[in-house]
Structure 1
Amino acid sequence: MTDHTPGSGDQPEEPTPRPESSSAGTGDTSPAGVPSQQPHAQRPDPENPYARPPEGQPAYAAQPSQDQQSYAAQGAQPHATQQQPWGHTAVLPQQSSGRRGGLVAGVAALALVCGLVGGGVGGYVGYQFGGDRAPSVSSLDQQRPARSVSTAPQGSVQQVADKVLPSVVQLQLVTARGAGEGSGIVISDDGYILTNNHVVDSGGAGSRLTAMFHDGRTAKVRVVGTDPKSDLAVVKADITGVTPAELGRSDDLPVGAPVVAIGSPFGLSGTVTSGIISAKDRPVRAGGENGSEDTVLNALQTDAAINPGNSGGPLVDMDGNVVGINSAIYSPGNSQSQAGSVGLGFAIPIDQAWRIATELKDHGSATQTTLGVLIGVGDQPGALVRNVVPGGPAEQAGVREGDLITKVDDRLIQDPDSLVAAVRSHAPGDRVTITLSGVGGERTVDATLVGQR
């Protein structure tokens, strides 16, 4: 699998080159890596500390070199030109007679003696007048408070963590091939948990799935239903009396809104990070084998730190309501054994996850929204219609082979993945307006989307 997701059972995803033709689109392109620079200092001659640097060359001149690891942080900036010791370039005088040299030495000795005497007199006077001073106060002698006085203000990360942590679990999958961890969200007090499909998938016969809750309890877990196309799954833990999370909404979530991510990155359960919503309606791939089109998601992008093991955990707003399911991270390079956060994390919007989770919990499977077209890449921005499914929503709306889909409602369609993400963000039965560019110019049609399993 070449795509990276933050579930620790498999590697975090990388973007996959777009296929020439597909029924559900291809992945988006991620930014290129940025090489770092590390300065190397040119030091003065230790045998002659007062020597001037060569003409035109500053002391401690930085000489940066290229670091081959992509997307690394920029190195420290080189120091500015520094002066020689004592604040100036010293020139030692040449003595012409021993008598003069002795005079200089005598003055130096006199200055040294005066310094010693001055220090001694000052110390004596300070000792005489400090005899009646008050005793010193030490922090180590003070009594500690009964509890921390830090109270969580309304809307703070601390308050959000206090509310949401009891509803987040660590999922541990043990298989014949090894073990891994992920995260999950409690959605009922009798043990139903929402997570990513790739967290619980690939277990096979003899695998064992366990949930560890915030209060320290553990329980065996069975899979209720999975949906690889949306990268979602519902599992059931053999436990009662747990705290379900409160689900919010993502359709009106503004870009720049503060959010908090909670999960078990690298097995560290109950980890809290914060950031903002960096972008919405981002077509990304997550959780599929070989970056298949079945895993194109209409994702929320966030700069809150998301790492392997965060998969399936919640992305919540500052009221503590779940607005997304953390699912993928961008991983620069392809030589890393296990990548970490570079500030590009992606979550499944809760509006879509809510519908899928309900169907998985009730029926064990979920329907996917479809328009009924096979699409590919054209020579202009948009999704080129290669084929129209007979009797499908597109054919009934008047979409023809060769049309270029450029909009779904007010959302611009740049490529096939954009169309897949836009369609799957809707529920079956939703009516959408599609803007087409074809032989007869631009036109719009209305289509009613349908669901298929």
Structure 2
Amino acid sequence: MSAAIAVLAAAGLALLSVPLQRGTLGTPAPTTAVVAPAPPPPAPPVPLAPEELSNRVVPTIVTITTRSALGTTAGTGIVLGPRSPHGSDAIVLTNHHVVDGGMEIAATSMRDRSAYAVEVLGYDGSRDLAVLRLPGAANLPAAQLGSSESVRVGEPVTAVGNAEGGGVPVSAPGAVTRVGVTVMTRNSVDGSRNELSNLIEVDANVRPGDSGGPLVDAVGDVVGVNSAGNAVEPGVTPEPAPKAYAIPIDAAMSLVEQVLSGRASDTVHIGPTPLLGVSVRDHRGQQTGTRDGAEVTVVGYRSPAEGVGLARGDVIVEFDGVPIHSSADLNLRMVTLHPGDQVRLRWIDAAGAERSGSLVLQEGPPR
């Protein structure tokens, strides 16, 4: 049966029978098939006016305030709604750099100013994404998610967020200028850098505080997570054209599902963050005639590192039997660990002597 005839049958329409010609048993006679007209394509969605778009999006975001050792930072989060197994709570998506180092993290609904505590369920610093849980926030409306696969250059978009950390929602309209872009981002708080790939570039004026907020299409569906912009200080002339970057929502939601399913990886950390108690930088041994490793620049007071005898200037060269050649190597080993885990370190002290010791990791801020 042809595809056209099959469609007719499903619709309950009568089909033409296929009679046999006399004297030619088994040979079908020519027939004319009845073909139903193709249904008209669905009408394109009607773009929302700026006020309508704001009314749809703003109730689905929260402001995020993070207090760290470097000060207080502000950002934005996208409410994804209650998701199993946290049915009485709300799951929120934001940037990792919004909660990085946070000793205290709080969220406030843009809908009714309700305040909520924040638990970091998991994160991927390499993709600048974090998944949060807001206890008792299941009543917050969830954002309507679109698909970043449909994003095309020239399409209108709007970034919505807590611009400049003022706690007031601000919309920044613009258009998609490029897709699939790779950029090197710089954290405005600590100066750290991170390479992000496959981003959506827009000409919207995204500001500090918008980080983690939604980039929405013309009907208010989320197509990206705002992550970086070229915002400049007021009064700078000539002022550059606005340019900002968003993580595609499809890629972001794959991280959300991974975190909620509890699947850690080399870059995805699940649950509370372990604390070793040191800050480190790369140590190039060829310059000093020693081994490569992670050089200790700061040792936390009463931290596991201080307890085992690590000091500023020491170079960590081994972590649980795995060689450490750089600060990135050490950070990579920490991603899959949790508070309470016991680890063994080997390091070179300032006098050039090799030392080792075991310690138990404490709980610390997300890193």
TM-score range, shorter chain: 0.5 to 0.7
Instruction: Pick the structure with more strand per residue.
Output: 2
- Cross-structure match for 1:273: 172
- Cross-structure match for 1:363: 262
- State the Cα deviation string for residues 74-131 of structure 1 (Å, max 9, x = none): xxxxxxxxxxxxxxxxxxxxxxxxxxxxxxxxxxxxxxxxxxxxxxxxxxxxxxxxxx
Correspondence for 1:343 among 239, 242, 245: 242
Correspondence for 2:222 among 322, 328, 342: 322
TM-score, normalising length: structure 2? 0.52
- Cross-structure match for 1:217: 114
What SS does the corresponding residue of 2:107 show, helix, strand or coil?
Answer: strand
Cα deviation, residue 354, structure 1: 1.3
Correspondence for 2:90 among 164, 186, 191: 191
Q: Is the 8 A contact 1:328 1:346 kept in 2?
A: yes
Q: Is the 8 A contact 1:259 1:318 kept in 2?
A: yes
Q: How far apart, CA to CA, are the structure 2 residues paired with 1:256 and 1:319? A: 15
Cα deviation, residue 310, structure 1: 0.5
| Residue 166 in structure 1 maps to residue 59 in structure 2 | yes
Q: Is the 8 A contact 2:206 2:231 kept in 1?
A: no
Q: Is the 8 A contact 1:186 1:243 kept in 2?
A: yes
TM-score, normalising length: structure 1? 0.43
Output the amino acid matched with 2:132: V
Correspondence for 1:208 among 79, 98, 104: 104
Output the amino acid matched with 2:119: R
**Counterpart mapping for 1:227-306 below 5 A:** 227-238=124-135, 239-268=137-166, 269-286=168-185, 295-306=195-206
Q: How far apart, CA to CA, are the structure 2 residues paired with 1:287 and 1:365? A: 26
Q: How far apart, CA to CA, are the structure 2 residues paired with 1:361 and 1:245? A: 18
What SS does the corresponding residue of 1:304 show, helix, strand or coil?
Answer: coil
- State the Cα deviation string for residues 349-378 of structure 1 (Å, max 9, x = none): 112111112112322645779xxxxxxxxx
Aligned length: 208
Greater RCO, CA 8 A, separation 6+: 1
Q: Is the 8 A contact 1:305 1:341 kept in 2?
A: no
- State the Cα deviation string for residues 404-431 of structure 1 (Å, max 9, x = none): xxxxxxxxxxxxxxxxxxxxxxxxxxxx
What SS does the corresponding residue of 1:229 show, helix, strand or coil?
Answer: helix
Moved more, 156-165 or 323-332: 323-332
Output the amino acid matched with 2:64: L
Output the amino acid matched with 2:214: P
For structure 2, list consecutive stretches of 5 or more residues without a partner in the other structure. 1-45, 83-88, 269-367
Cα deviation, residue 342, structure 1: 4.2
Q: Closer, same or farther in 2 for the Cα pair 1:366/1:213, shift >3 Å?
A: farther
Q: Is the 8 A contact 2:119 2:134 kept in 1?
A: yes
**Counterpart mapping for 1:432-447 below 5 A:** none
- Cross-structure match for 2:4: none
What SS does the corresponding residue of 2:123 show, helix, strand or coil?
Answer: strand
Q: Is the 8 A contact 2:231 2:242 kept in 1?
A: no
Q: Closer, same or farther in 2 for the Cα pair 1:255/1:304, shift >3 Å?
A: same
Q: Identity of aligned pairs, percent?
A: 32
The structure number with the bigger radius of gyration is: 1
- State the Cα deviation string for residues 312-354 of structure 1 (Å, max 9, x = none): 0000001211001000113679xx9xxx984110000112111
Output the amino acid matched with 2:202: T
Q: How far apart, CA to CA, are the structure 2 residues paired with 1:306 and 1:366? A: 31
Q: After the TM superposition, which parts of structure 1 deviate over 4 Å for at least 4 consecutive aligned residues?
A: 287-292, 366-369
For structure 1, list consecutive stretches of 5 or more residues without a partner in the other structure. 1-152, 370-453
Q: Is the 8 A contact 1:359 1:366 kept in 2?
A: no
Q: How far apart, CA to CA, are the structure 2 residues paired with 1:341 and 1:348? A: 22
